[in-house]
Each structure stands twice: as structure tokens, then as C-alpha cells.
Amino acid sequence: QRRGGGGGGRGGGANKRRREGRLVGAQVLSLGADVLPEYKLQTPRIQKWTILHYSPFKAVWDWVILLLVIYTAIFTPYSATFLLRLVETHTATCGYSCSPLNVVDLIVDIMFIVDIIINFRTTYVNSNDEVVSQSSRIAVHYFKGWFLIDMVAAIPFDLLIYRSGEETTTLIGLLKTARLLRLVRVARKLDRYSEYGAAVLFLLMCSFALIAHWLACIWYAIGNVDRSASAGIGWLDTLGDQLGKPYNDSITESGPSIRDKYVTALYFTFSSLTSVGFGNVSPNTNSEKIFSICVMLIGALMYASIFGNVSAIIQRLYSGTARYHAQMMKVREFIRFHQIPNPLKQRPDIRPVLHLQRIHRDPQRRHGGSHTG
């Protein structure tokens, strides 16, 4: 019986270790904060077609959705401004499926819709630290939470609205920016990495670059709208004259290339946000000047909220090294004061010296412990 009990204990221990390994793997991959606590290693009873929120499948799926959201945050404003005429031309000549961007956008919309369906079947942790697997409670919890944002971000506006001209294409591009609402959810999930200084610094720099990218797209859209009514004084006309590629209303493809326009717009927003503008790209029309004022205000706020914390983050990164050097200085002072012999002083393992230092500070340890009445 003892042998059988020992075998059962070993089998139970192996199963427990396997569950712990799966839990640790899912926790490493997971982007969410609601991970099953370690003391709840028992597999909960779930209904059919229900997904555990800490399962490896859900963790991998969250990473896929994160990559799609990053793609959306970068390419949706870019395609809605810089590639607007190109997409319209391809759609008018050979249909919706001719443009690769339209196909990719359709795939992204389908993935976002599938994500909504998966969220309706994914468990969550309630306020009592219990895993909820009932479908009705999961649906109510999702409806009260992120359903509205996910639904608006997944609407395929380019399929629902018929393209009948440049105005309709512009409207579709603006409506597709609703996908950026998913960034709010991603930002909430990335809060779990706020305890790591290097991760926070990387996320802050990425946020700064992403905002500069969005502002560059808006800056180009303003210049493109003002070009027809600015009598050739807008920043796009100035750029065309500087590059030797002036605009000609009789030629559709005249003017600077898309790469030249995007690089110049991004250069202007970065220089304005960092308050280091050189004046070679300057606002000329009233709309451009008003937008430049807004960019300067945004840059000042970003300096206060982001770059003001960079020094604190870097200091936190090197705080461990500073504590180590301070402790080593105390050890050297202890060695010099007590005249520790050279063989002991030159040993690479300084833990015995630290132990001697603790004994020196606590006289009761010299007698093997504290005295009892």
C-alpha cells in the first residue's frame, strides 16, 4: 500500500507539474492581466466550444490580433490619405479585388469579426477570483465591456458603401480609421509590462513615432485639400518646386512622388513635436498654420508626459548596478577596517565577507542567536 500510495503521489505530482508548466507557458504568451492564479491549478468545468482565457490558443490568438491592430494603426491612416487616389484608380479600372490593399483590409475585417465571436466564447475571471464559463454570463460581460469598440472597428465600410467618386472614397477612408479604437484595448493589455523600465521606454518611443505618423498623414491631407484653393502657396506646391517636380493640373501623375511627400510630412511632424524645426518645411496657408499650432501644443504635452519620465526610467534601469557598487564599496571599507588577510580578500566569492559584515553589525549572532529569558 505504501508503494502504491507513493506511486499515486508521484503521478499526482507529475500531473501537477504538467499543469503548472502549461500555466507558465500560457502566462508568458498571454497579453491579458486575468491569468488563473497558481493556487487554482484544477481545470475548471467549461461548456462545449468554450475557450479558457489562459489557454495557449487564446494567447497565440491575442498576439495575432495585436499584430493586426499594429498593421491597422500604421497603414489605415496612410492608405486613407497618401494612397487615396491610387486605391480609387485601381477600384475603378478592375474592381475591388484588384487592389492588394483592399484584399488585406478585407482579411483584417474578417479576423476582427472572428475575434468578436471568440470573445463571446472565452472565459473570464470575476471579482471573486473565479473562472466564469457560462455562455450567458460571458456574453453579458462582453457586452458591458469591449463589444461596442470591437464591433465598430470590425465594420467593413468599404463593402457597405458604394464607391461613386472621390468624396465617397474619402468618406470610406475616414470611417476606416475607426479601427484605431482597438488601440485602447491593446494599451490596457500592455499595462502589465509597465513594471519593466526597458519595456516602458520602448513603448513610449513607439507611441511617439506612431503619433508623429498620424500627424504626418493629417498634415498631407490638409496640404492636399488646400492645394486646389491656395494659389500655389501650400507646402505641397513648395515641395514640388524644390524637387523640380511641380504640379500640373492637366497631368494626373504630376508633382512629387508618394515617398517624397510622406518623408517630408513625417520630417515636419517630428521636427515640430521635438521643437527643432529648421523652417525648410513651413506652413503657408491658414489651415496649415492652425494645424502647426496644434502640433506644437501636442509636442509640449508629449514632452511633459513621455520624455519627462525618460530620466526616471533610465535611472531605474541602472538602480541595480548602483546598489551593487554601493554594496561593494561597503565591503571594501569593511575589509580595510578589519584588515582582512589577502587570500580571503582576493577570493571571487565575497559572500563569506558579507556574512562577516552582518555578524559584525548584529552582536547577538556572535553567540549563535538571541538570548531567551
36 has a pLDDT exceeding 70? no
Tell me: do 189 and 231 sit in the same domain: no
> What does pLDDT average to over the chain?
75
Q: Is 232 a member of any domain?
A: yes
Residue 16 pLDDT: 55
Do 210 and 346 fall into the same domain?
A: yes
pLDDT confidence of residue 17: 58
Please report the DSSP string for 168-195 in residue order.
HHHHHHHHHGGGGGHHHHHHHHGGGGTT
Range of the domain at 164: 44-194
Q: Of all residues in the chain, what percent carry a pLDDT higher than 90?
A: 11
Q: Per the confidence metrics, is the pTM higher than 0.75?
A: no
- pLDDT exceeds 70 at position 345: no
Determine the pLDDT at residue 229.
Answer: 73
Instruction: List pLDDT tens digits, range 192-236.
Output: 666 666 777 788 888 889 999 999 999 998 888 888 776 778 888
Give, in order, the Cα–Cα distances in Å from 208 to each of 202, 214, 233, 272: 10, 10, 30, 12
**Residue 3 pLDDT exceeds 60:** no
Asked if 29 and 55 touch (Cβ cutoff 8 Å), the reply is: no
Q: Which three cell numbers stand for residue 23?
A: 500555466
Q: Do residues 217 and 311 share a domain?
A: yes
Same domain, 93 and 221: no
- Of 295, 241, 306, the closest CA to residue 269 belongs to 295
Q: How far apart are CA 91 and CA 109, in angstroms?
A: 18
154 shares its domain with 200: no
Most confident stretch, 70-84, 256-270, 296-310: 256-270
Let me know whether 189 and 62 are in one domain: yes
At 332, which CATH number?
A: 1.10.287.70
Assess contact for 344 and 354: CB atoms under 8 A: no
Asked if residue 95 and residue 166 are part of one domain, the reply reads: yes
- Say if 306 falls within a structural domain: yes
Mean pLDDT of 238-266: 85
Domain boundary among 141, 162, 194: 194
Q: How many structural domains compose the chain?
A: 2
Q: Do both 173 and 319 map to the same domain?
A: no
What's the burial of 62, exposed, middle or buried (CB within 10 Å: 0-12/13-18/19+)?
buried
As given in the structure block, the three cell numbers for residue 5 are 500510495
Residues 167 and 234 reside in one and the same domain = no
Smallest CA-to-CA distance from 41 within 28, 54, 30 is with 54
**Least confident piece of the model among 33-37, 60-64, 71-75, 211-215:** 33-37
Last residue of a domain, one of 167, 194, 221: 194
Query: Is 35 within the bounds of a domain?
Result: no
* Domain assignment present for 277: yes
Q: Which of 28-37, 50-59, 124-133, 238-247 has the lowest mean pLDDT?
A: 28-37
Angstrom distance (rounded) from CA 281 to CA 297: 18
d(CA 313, CA 309) in angstroms, rounded, equals 6
Examine residue 33 and state whether it is found in any structural domain, yes or no: no
Residue 266 has pLDDT above 60, yes or no: yes
Q: What is the mean pLDDT of residues 134-160?
A: 84
5 assigned to some structural domain:
no
Cα 331 from chain centroid (whole Å): 43
Neighbours of 105 (CB within 10 A): 23
**According to the model, what pLDDT value does residue 373 have?**
37
Determine the length of the chain. Answer: 373
Predicted local distance difference test score (pLDDT) of residue 20:
55
**d(C-alpha 200, C-alpha 309), whole Å:** 10
Contact, 295 vs 273, CB < 8 A?
yes
Distance between CA atoms of 94 and 108, rounded to whole angstroms? Answer: 22
Judging by DSSP bridges, how do beta strands 131-132 and 124-125 pair with one another?
A: antiparallel
Is residue 283 situated within a structural domain? yes
- Residue 36 identity (one-letter amino acid): L
317 domain-assigned: yes
Chain Cα centroid distance, residue 105? 20
- The single residue listed with the C-alpha cell 509590462 is 193
Q: What is the pLDDT of residue 264?
A: 92
Q: What is the structure's pLDDT at 234?
A: 85
Same domain assignment for residues 232 and 264: yes
Q: Which residue, of 153, 171, 194, is where some domain finishes?
A: 194
Q: Tell me the β-bridge partners of 124.
A: 132
Residues 147, 226: one domain?
no
Q: What is the pLDDT of residue 38?
A: 45
Indicate whether 183 pLDDT > 60.
yes
First-to-final CA distance of the chain:
48
CA 125, 131, 133, 136 torsion-angle sign: negative
278 and 343 co-located in one domain: yes
